[in-house]
Amino acid sequence: MKSPNTAMPVTTQDDFKEYNITQTLGIVSGNTVRTRHIGNDILAVLRTIVGGEIPEYTKMLTESRQQAVERMLKQARDLGADGVVGVRFVTASVLTGASEILAYGTAVKLARKA
């Protein structure tokens, strides 16, 4: 997976097929906490009656994941990383109506395989 705003390789795997990991720089993470919008909640309640996807929440969570990843990648760049391996996502409820999305992984230095 390549981040939309960077050429830094990112994967959920422990390594890259085309690169050797030459140095492990440490854990990097990025998070965001978002609250629900009352207008979206009203639409969501109405959608639960007829069923189906709640696109307002899908959009909010997609944006949250993207922001968390970008923050994680900034931390990796600040360490001088060439890539991030072992990326994971965690979601937690912070308070009623607010959730955190955390992206984390291991920042690494890479060398292209011959």
C-alpha closest to that of 5 among 106, 57, 77, 105: 77
Q: Which CATH architecture has domain 19-112?
A: 2-Layer Sandwich (3.30)
Instruction: Check pLDDT > 50 for residue 26.
Output: yes
Domain positions in the chain are: 19-112
| Token pair 């937690």: residue | 92
- Contact in structure between 88 and 101 (CB atoms under 8 Å): no
Residue 39 is predicted with a pLDDT of 57
- The pTM of the whole model exceeds 0.95: no
Residue 47 is predicted with a pLDDT of 58
